[in-house]
Amino acid sequence: MAPLISEDLPCAPESIDLYRSELELRKRPSLSKDSEKCEKTPVKGIGCDLASIVRDAVETGQATHGVFQCADLLTHNPDSVMLCILPDASDHCDVTVHIQQTLIQAFCWENDIQMIKVDSADKLAAVLGVKAANDAVCGPSSCALIQFPSGDLSPEMERVSQYIDHVMFSDVYPRPVIRLPE
C-alpha cells in the first residue's frame, strides 16, 4: 500500500482552523529565499515549515542526525528531544531499515517524542546540509532529531506540532508522509 501523502488527507472539522491559517500564510508575501522557494513549488504548508525547523535547528546546533548519534542522544537525554524525523522506507527492501525505524519509533512513543515521516532521505539530507549516503541504514539522513529550543516555539514549530497531534489522534492509517521541498 502506498504511503498517504499529507496533501491527500481529508479536511476534518477540527482541522479547519489549521487549514485556514495555512491558506493565510500562503497568501502572505514571502520574505526569505526559503519561503520564496516554498511559494513557487507545489510543496507547501507543513513540508516547508518542517524544512524551516530543521534548517534553524542545524544553525543553532539543536539537530542530531545519523542513527548512531540519534540513538546516543535518545539514550542519554530523551527529554531534550522535541521531534524525530524519519525518511519513509516503504519502498526499501532492506529489513534492517525497517527494524531500525521500528525501534526508533517505539522509543519515541515510549518517551512521548513527536515523530514524523518524510518522503525522501535525499531531501532530508539536503535540508540537514549533509551529503546523502547510499547507506540507508547508517547514513546521515537515516534519522534526525530536533531538540527543544531554548526560548519559545517558533510559529512553524507550533504548526508542525499541531499537525502531528491532529494526525496522531485521528483515525488516518497509514500515517501521512510529509513532502519536503526540493
DSSP 43: -
Are residues 120 and 85 in contact, defined by beta-carbon separation less than 8 angstroms?
no
Pick the more confident residue, 114 or 14. Answer: 114
| Structure confidence at residue 30 as a pLDDT band (50, 70, 90) | very low
What's at 32, amino acid-wise? S
Average pLDDT, the chain: 78
Q: Which residues of 118-130 are buried (b: 16+ CB within 10 A; e: fewer)?
A: bbbbbbbbbbbeb
- Give the whole-number percent of the chain exceeding pLDDT 90: 48
Supply the pLDDT for residue 173: 79
What are the tens digits of pLDDT across the range 129-159?
998 766 555 677 889 999 999 899 999 999 9
CA–CA separation, 101 and 119 (whole Å): 14
Could you give the CA distance from residue 159 to residue 99 in angstroms, rounded to a whole number?
30
CA distances 81 to 72, 132, 138, 144, 148, Å, are 12, 23, 20, 10, 6
- 61 sits in the region (left: phi over 0; alpha: psi -120 to 50; else beta) called left
- pLDDT above 60 for 3: no
Grid cell in block for residue 78: 530523551
What is the rounded average pLDDT of the residues 59-83? 94
How sure is the predictor about 89, in pLDDT bands with cuts at 50, 70 and 90? confident
Categorize the per-residue pLDDT at 84 as very low, low, confident or very high, splitting at 50, 70 and 90: very high
pLDDT of residue 68 exceeding 50:
yes
Q: Using the predicted structure, report yes or no on whether residue 26 has a pLDDT greater than 70.
A: no
Does a cis peptide bond (omega within 30 degrees of 0) precede residue 10? no
Distance, in Å, from the CA atom of 127 to the CA atom of 57, rounded to the nearest integer, reads 11
pLDDT one-digit tens code per residue, 6-23: 554 444 434 444 444 444
